[in-house]
Amino acid sequence: LHQAAKQTKTDPLAFIRQESLFGNLIENERFTALYTEAVGKIYRNANIKNYMKNMI
């Protein structure tokens, strides 16, 4: 999991590619689009606390 999480910077979907944990979630285009957008926001603005506040 740690290795997959580290790969997220270059492959935003690396973490959810873990089929043993997430099944075929990677095939859900709506989810992956939203997930990719969220990961991108986190890497563009490392202030996760503010990002989470804005989500609520």
Contact 43, 9 (CB under 8 A): yes
pLDDT for the residue 42: 82
Q: Can you give the pTM of this predicted structure?
A: 0.74
Residue 11 tokens read as 């492959």
Residue 51 has pLDDT above 80, yes or no: no
Expressed as residue numbers, the domain containing 31 is 2-55
Total domains in the fold of the chain: 1
